[in-house]
Amino acid sequence: MATRFLSIPLLFGLSLPLTTWAQATSHAAARHVQQETGTLTGRIQLADEQAAESVSVLVKGTSLGTTTDAEGNFRLQAPAGWLTVAVTHVGYVTQLLTVQIKAGEAVTLPPLTLAKDQRQLSEVTVMGNRTINEKPVAAGKLPVRPLDLPQSIVTIDQRVLEQQQVLRVSDALANVSGVYVMGTTGGTQEELASRGFSMGSNNTFKNGVRYNNGALPEATALESFEVMKGSNAILYGNVAAGGIINLVTKKPRFQQGGQVGMRVGSYDFYKPFVDVYGAVNNSEHVAYRVNATYENARSFRQGVSSNRFYVNPSLLFKVGQKTDLLVEGDYLHDERTPDYGIGTINYRIVDVPRSRFLGPKWAYNNTDQTSLTTTLTHRLSDTWQVRLLGGYQGYDNDQRSTSRPIGVLENGDWSRSAQGSQTMQDYFLGELDVTGKFKTFFLGHAVLVGLDADKYNTTTPSYTAVAYDKINILDLDKYKQRADMPALSLASRNHTPIRRVGAYVQDLISVGEKVKVLAGVRYTYQETGTKSLAYKDYSITQSKRYDDAFSPRLGLVYQPIKTSSVFASYSNSFVLNTGIDRNGGALPPSTLNQFEVGVKNDLFNGALSANVTAYHIVNDGQAQTILQNSPSFNSDFPNAQELAGEVTSKGLEVDILSKPYQGWSLIGGYSYNHTSYTKSNIYEVGSLLRYNPNHTANLSLFYTLDHSILRGLQAGFTAYYVGERQAGRSTRQVGSNGQPINDTFKLIPLSSYTQFDASVGYAYQRLTLRLKLSNLLDKLSYNAHDDNSINPIAPRQLAATLTYQL
């Protein structure tokens, strides 16, 4: 009988027979260690239900020891025999355990809870895990503290995500200053922005691989939520200047554990979920983790519903003492009703019920998304490491609906058309990173050298819109709506392949203990092709363009004390332009220059982190149409553009985050942003860009009782403020002929609002129940895209989540 094995693709086609290979590796390594050692595993909890990260587990009388991870789990290889193990943590009573370790076997301790040391409580100010300034972020590629980097970085860990019952990525933004929702086009995705610039799919990552955020990412599988603000072009190429988001999913563990749970909420919301992990067949070399969830819900919008399934399996292979292979995959199937909001009349938001839906009953938006990431990490020494990453993502979206509400008459009448769209995309990535530390004379170096190559294959069939029916958005009973879904014919099929390759080097140079200099540069080369087939006459058009750019980065960090730093940096990024120049050639990329200064502080022995950042970003080569009265105008190419416009973004950000202290934890932030046209031949100089609030602020306060009969009771409060914004369409001062015009375009002002959420929870042994009341004051506001997708925010809603720890 033939031996069956699992084959996993690694870096575009290399296949590994993992089961056979892992067994051979496991047996070879085991022959050496099983004669003398065994494995001790367990999980530590703190009396106040806080995360027991960095708890020390030491074998007395030896130099052997380890610390717990973010969930309190530990794994320690120890000599066979009877051992005394000390479990210690600052502010808690040390516990001594006597255990017997047998050669080649694994011993798992029952869950252990550390009690507070009342004698030390008055002197202790720091309890919990590392601060946001101490914990390196995976998206940074270089394993150094954020305190040492000249850049604003915020990480929201799993404990906060669970406390706040984060359902969507936008929920987590209530913990990060200056990152906000700029639109929810069709209600099928969340368009995020930072510092005045959109954070689209090019700026969204999952485990370091670009992620198409055309579908709503699943939050239940997240281990942390990383935001690196500002320019990250040196690491990832042509990303927008505002920053990047990296979604870090939960990783495999060798300790057995997990949780099952159920979330229910308003409007028939149901979401069961499961998360299990452990060693494969008690192996010391292969671990697994599986997250899965199903979601079914209606909406406060009448006729709108959603249905989705998500699964996220992963495997970790300990190939040897210095080599790890992590294989992560996920699959999302998402079905929801496309919803373009309540409509506008002559650029005015319509006063209609918040629940009014203007689409047809048959409308649908279906998305299937699959990803696979393999990460091979080899430690050359204690200071040098090689990381090889391969990634694939498949994205398939199909939508049918009526058109966006454009051209609504003053009396509310609107003639709808039926339309369809489809996107099919395959994305591949290969990346090699080498990191290391060394010294030259009195200088210390932390170096990153890398190569990456990726490609997109995107196909977008388009359909011919057809007239459908007439409705009145003020009175839906005025006309009888059609109920049938019309057939749509293909109009064209567009194929857009993109090939990109980059090389980068970065060095964090330590000049003594107080001064650090970060210097680096990236070179990116990109090919973009287009091939369009028009079905009406079966004509084919093709084109190809070639772009390249250098992205330098330079920063200076001064640390007067070990827990504080002052920094300044310069970096640039680039964005591709799709137009043509005056001679009909490809328009070159636009380069954005960014300057950033800031202060980072870990105060009160690390109990509170407080960071302040100021920035100034200039796109002095924004693409704009060449007007007919311009000396650059060429009548042979009347739609040509030139890089003569300018957009400037400037602002200030404050981020505050505390460790848990005597049951209390705090997250706060404030941002000011001003993004405007500072040079334009069409728009008024000084006018603001759309969707960007001048001010945002956030505050989250949580308290956990760790004494009395109510021990385990939790209460939390979150406030999120979004300042005034504007949607609609920016008013043009002149037409394409260069003459003043009475423009029909108008901006739509969106008023500021503050949303309050309240939550309460209770944890008893393995059970935890959490209740959340969102939008406590039932505030009404909108997320908007142009003038044709004005989506009200959700009203007051109640959610309950019950989890059981396995």
Helix and strand numbers (H, E) in the chain are 4, 47
Report the alpha-carbon distance of residue 390 to residue 10 in Å, rounded.
Answer: 6
Q: Is the CB of residue 769 less than 8 Å from the CB of residue 733?
A: no
CA distances in angstroms from 155 to 138, 171, 177, 182, listed in the order given: 10, 14, 12, 21
Pick the range with the lowest mean pLDDT from 235-249, 487-501, 569-583, 587-601.
569-583
Residue 116 — very low, low, confident or very high, per pLDDT cuts 50/70/90? low
Start-end of CATH 2.170.130.10 domains in the chain: 138-245
Summarised one tens digit per residue, pLDDT across range 515-541 is 999 999 999 999 998 888 888 878 888
Amino acid 429: pLDDT? 97
Considering the chain, what percentage of its residues have pLDDT values greater than 90? 62
Please tell me the total number of residues recorded for the chain in this structure.
806
Please give the full DSSP string across 367-394, using - where no structure is assigned. EEEEEEEEEEEEESSSSEEEEEEEEEEE
Mean pLDDT in the chain? 88
Summarised one tens digit per residue, pLDDT across range 680-734 is 988 889 999 999 999 999 999 999 887 767 788 999 999 999 999 999 988 877 7
Amino acid 584: pLDDT? 83
Pick the range with the lowest mean pLDDT from 437-446, 481-490, 576-585, 609-618.
576-585
Q: Is the CB of residue 96 less than 8 Å from the CB of residue 84?
A: yes
Amino acid 631: pLDDT? 85
Summarised one tens digit per residue, pLDDT across range 184-195 is 888 888 889 999
Residue 96 — very low, low, confident or very high, per pLDDT cuts 50/70/90? confident
Closest to 223 (Cα-Cα) out of 335, 150, 312: 312
Q: Is the CB of residue 376 less than 8 Å from the CB of residue 324?
A: yes
Summarised one tens digit per residue, pLDDT across range 297-337 is 999 999 999 999 999 999 999 998 899 999 999 999 999 99
Amino acid 769: pLDDT? 95
478 three-state secondary structure: coil
* HSE (side-chain half, CA atoms, 13 Å) at 115: 7
Closest to 48 (Cα-Cα) out of 602, 772, 604, 665: 665
Report the alpha-carbon distance of residue 778 to residue 719 in Å, rounded.
Answer: 13
Amino acid 47: pLDDT? 67
Summarised one tens digit per residue, pLDDT across range 124-160 is 333 446 788 998 999 999 889 999 999 999 999 988 9
Sign of CA dihedral 59, 63, 69, 74: negative
pLDDT at residue 465 tops 80: yes
Domain 34-114 in CATH 2.60.40.10? The answer is: yes
State mean pLDDT over 764-773: 93
State mean pLDDT over 768-776: 96
pLDDT at residue 123 tops 70: no
Higher pLDDT, 712 or 117: 712
Give first-to-last CA distance, the chain, whole Å: 37
Amino acid 52: pLDDT? 76
Backbone angles phi, psi at 201, to 5 degrees: -60, -30
Amino acid 91: pLDDT? 67
Q: Residues 6 or more apart from 17 whose CB is under 8 A from it? A: 5, 6, 7
Q: Is the CB of residue 449 less than 8 Å from the CB of residue 433?
A: yes
Strand runs labelled E in 116-221: 153-157, 179-183, 191-194, 197-199, 204-206, 209-210
Give the containing element (helix H, strand E) for 730: none
State mean pLDDT over 156-171: 90
Amino acid 4: pLDDT? 34
Task: Give buried/exposed letters for 466-486 (b at 16+ CB in 10 A, else e).
Answer: eebbebebbeeeeeebbeebb
Amino acid 49: pLDDT? 52
Residue 635 — very low, low, confident or very high, per pLDDT cuts 50/70/90? confident
Residue 10 — very low, low, confident or very high, per pLDDT cuts 50/70/90? very low
State mean pLDDT over 397-410: 94
pLDDT at residue 92 tops 80: no
Domain 249-805 in CATH 3.40.980.10? The answer is: no
Query: Which CB contacts under 8 angstroms, 24+ apart, belong to 792-798?
Result: 792/301, 792/341, 792/342, 792/354, 793/753, 793/755, 794/300, 795/300, 795/354, 797/265, 797/266, 797/267, 797/300, 797/773, 798/265, 798/266, 798/771, 798/772, 798/773, 798/774
pLDDT at residue 481 tops 50: yes
Amino acid 120: pLDDT? 39
Backbone angles phi, psi at 498, to 5 degrees: -125, 130
Q: Which CATH class is domain 138-245?
A: mainly beta
Summarised one tens digit per residue, pLDDT across range 23-54 is 444 444 444 444 478 888 888 887 655 557 77
Start-end of CATH 2.60.40.10 domains in the chain: 34-114
Please give the full DSSP string across 509-576, using - where no structure is assigned. EEETTTEEEEEEEEEEEEEEEEEEEETTTTEEEEEEEEEEEEEEEEEEEE-SSTTEEEEEEEEEEEE-
Secondary structure percentages of the chain, helix, strand, coil, to 5: 5, 55, 35
Summarised one tens digit per residue, pLDDT across range 52-81 is 777 888 888 777 788 887 778 888 888 888
State mean pLDDT over 211-233: 92
For the chain, what is the largest distance between any 2 Cα atoms, rounded to a whole number of angstroms?
A: 90
Sign of CA dihedral 72, 78, 84, 90: negative
Amino acid 174: pLDDT? 86
Report the alpha-carbon distance of residue 27 to residue 324 in Å, rounded.
Answer: 16
